[in-house]
Amino acid sequence: MTFKAPVQDFATDWDHTDPRWVANPYPIWDDLRERCPVAHTERYGGGWFPTTHEMVSEIANDVEHFSSRLVVVNHNKFPEGAPPAPMGGAPPITSDPPFHQIARRVMLPALSPGVVNALEPQIRDLCAKHLDALKGQEYFDAGSQYAQFISPGVITRMLGFPEEDEDLFREFVHLVLDLIDLPTEQRVPLFEPLVQYFTKQIEDHLENPRDDFTSYLLNVQVGGKRLAPEHVRGTMVLTLVAGIDTTWSAIGSSLWHLASHPRDLERLVNEPEIMGLAVEEFLRFYAPVTMARTLKDDFEFHGCAMKKDDWVLLGFPAANRDPAAFEDAGQFIIDRAHNRHAAFGLGIHRCAGSNLARLELRVAIEEFIKRFARFELADPQAVTWAQGQVRGPRNIPIRVGS
Amino acid sequence: MKVVIDRELCQGHGRCFSIAPSIFDFDELGNGVVIGDGSLDENTVEMARLAQANCPEHAIFIEE
Ligand code: HEM
């Protein structure tokens, strides 16, 4: 870890890893939206942070000036050997048009609502299995003992890997998240076991094709040709990285909210018909994912002189709190009827896994409150939040009531 | 009255067919499509409006 100077003013020196931003970013964003509304920083080699829904939407839709080649802000921009555009390291999220469309079209049929909805019984069983393990306990951690098991279980099954390897992915995701500040030369060797694991799984799937996402990627043809091996591997890694901590963060934030807002918990228990609306409001209010872009060239954006290769932190969660786009934006309204939130992004990179993510979120909450109609935070001060571009509670210590 | 989805704007967020499954469906990529010719009557127009108000890409249009 490198020492970082504390932020004096987020308007001119923002840092999304600052402890205040990590603990509670919403007042900071509200303040910036009124004062700026695009904040700037010299950190990370220079970057911008737009805070209004309109600007976030404008940038997400402007693929001419803003590139997705790098989507995670870091100190080591464009290192030697960085995966080249247009594919990037994890297609389609790191791809720009026109390649992006090819990589995205490959994934979409496998994640369409028809395919994904068939997984509901499996997901319910998975939730039930982890809830069974909590039976009889008055105190437990709804994060590390529940939420963080659901998405690794689902993704492992989707990719067609052995169920007992779930833990490997939980560890891998922790690695990606927690060691974000390590220099590249120290991080890369840590990924070696995972690279080998993927190689083994790909070989196994080539020998024994089956009905799962890995076999699908190995066989799918674009223009009469199979995908390049690095494309298959990149998309598998992306599925793991994009599908796991995002979703466990959403489940975790939702359970944290219910544990600290007894009236909302009671309503959800008594009025299961509002679950669909509640899921969208959880997603709006606690949108876990912030993505980045880099500038393709110098560009003047609403009076900001953006420079080639500058970062733009694309705050979908900040857009979701913009009063110009949402009535009572700062309030959580469990049955909000008009909710055009951007938790899954906007424009051509709309989360390809959103159908699956919603299903997991809904089923995980439904099963949880079926078992525990009453629960509360056992120690509100003990809850800490993940730093970086995916926000969610690391731990949710709760006490269940009778 | 008629409802249409602008296929250029739709990115497949899937809000319309969850909110109003009698009016909208999805294609093989998961993008929204209008069922039939999209004609609305006084019973269905409110549902179509609700879907419109929840489309993150502003891709749903109701023609009077
Ligand atoms: C609540 C959970 C999730 C949230 C909030 C979320 C959010 C997002 C966001 C905001 C983007 C847009 C990125 C950008 O514009 O640069 C995105 C892209 C993506 N997500 Fe998710 N995601 C979630 C779960 C998942 C799951 C479960 C999967 C896979 C199974 C997944 C796969 C992807 C993929 C493949 C992309 C890239 C799409 C493209 O570039 O065309 N996500 N996600």
How many other β-carbons are positioned within 10 Å of the β-carbon of residue A88?
Answer: 24
The per-type count for chain A, helices as H runs and strands as E runs, is 18, 12
Q: Can you tell me whether residue A58 is helix, strand or coil? A: helix
A84: preceding bond cis by omega (within 30 degrees) = no
Residue nearest to atom 27 of ligand 1 (CA): A243
Q: Which residues of B touch A220 (CB under 8 A)?
A: none
Q: Which residue has the tokens 């990719």?
A: A159
Q: Is residue A367 part of a domain?
A: yes
- The tally of domains found in chain A comes to 1
CATH number at residue A305: 1.10.630.10
User: Residue A340: phi, psi to the nearest 5?
Assistant: -90, 50
Q: Is residue A382 part of a domain?
A: yes
Q: Are B18 and B29 in contact (CB under 8 A)?
A: no
**Are A114 and B26 a contacting pair at CB < 8 A?**
yes
Record the pTM: 0.96
Question: What's the gap in Å between the CA of B39 and the closest CA on chain A?
Answer: 23
Element (H, E) at A199: helix A192-207
Of A322, A289, A359, A246, the C-alpha closest to A36 is A322
Q: Between the CA of residue A325 and those of A136, A233, A318, A329, what are the distances in Å?
A: 44, 39, 11, 8
Q: Is residue A319 part of a domain?
A: yes
- Helix A229-243 with A245-260: angle, nearest 10 deg: 10
* Dist. CA A315–CA A6, nearest whole Å: 21
B12, B17, B55 member nearest A340 (Cβ): B55
Q: Can you tell me whether residue A44 is helix, strand or coil? A: helix
User: CB under 8 Å to A175, separation ≥6 — which residues?
Assistant: A190, A191
Question: What's the gap in Å between the CA of B28 and the closest CA on chain A?
Answer: 6
pLDDT in the model for residue A74? 82
One digit per residue, pLDDT tens: chain A, 402 residues? 456 789 999 999 999 999 999 999 999 999 999 999 999 999 999 999 999 999 999 999 999 999 999 898 887 776 666 666 666 678 899 899 999 999 999 999 999 999 999 999 999 999 999 999 999 999 999 999 999 999 999 999 999 999 888 888 888 777 766 666 666 677 677 777 888 888 899 999 999 999 999 999 999 998 899 998 888 888 888 898 889 999 999 999 999 999 999 999 999 999 999 999 999 999 999 999 999 999 999 999 999 999 999 999 999 999 999 999 999 999 999 999 999 999 999 999 999 999 999 999 999 999 999 999 999 999 999 999 998 899 999 999 999 996
Q: What is the DSSP string of A9-35?
A: -HHHH--TTSHHHHH--HHHHHHHHHH
User: CB under 8 Å to A225, separation ≥6 — which residues?
Assistant: none
Q: Are A71 and A94 in contact (CB under 8 A)?
A: yes
**Are A338 and B54 a contacting pair at CB < 8 A?**
yes
Q: Which two tokens stand for residue B2?
A: 């008629």
CATH number at residue B54: 3.30.70.20
Q: What is the dihedral of CA A309, A315, A316, A318, to 10 degrees?
A: -160
Q: Between the CA of residue A387 and those of A43, A116, A358, A391, what are the distances in Å?
A: 16, 30, 23, 7
ipTM of the complex model:
0.97
**Are A338 and B17 a contacting pair at CB < 8 A?**
no
pLDDT in the model for residue A240? 86
- The tally of domains found in chain B comes to 1
Any chain A CB within 8 A of the CB of B9? no
Q: Are strands A311-314 and A47-50 parallel, antiparallel or unpaired?
A: parallel
Residues having CB closer than 6 A to ligand 1 are A 60, 68, 71, 92-93, 104, 107, 238-239, 242-243, 246-247, 250, 288-289, 291, 316, 343-345, 349, 351-353, 356-357
Span from the CA of A157 to the centroid of ligand 1 (angstroms): 18
Q: Is residue A2 part of a domain?
A: no
Q: Which two tokens stand for residue A216?
A: 């699908």
Residue A304, strand partner residues: A301
B15, B26, B58 member nearest A112 (Cβ): B26
Q: Is residue A338 part of a domain?
A: yes
Q: Is residue A203 part of a domain?
A: yes
| Residue span of the structural domain in which B19 resides | 2-63
| Residue span of the structural domain in which A32 resides | 10-400
Of A286, A276, A289, the C-alpha closest to A345 is A289
Question: 3-state SS of chain B: helix, strand, coil percent to 5?
Answer: 25, 25, 55
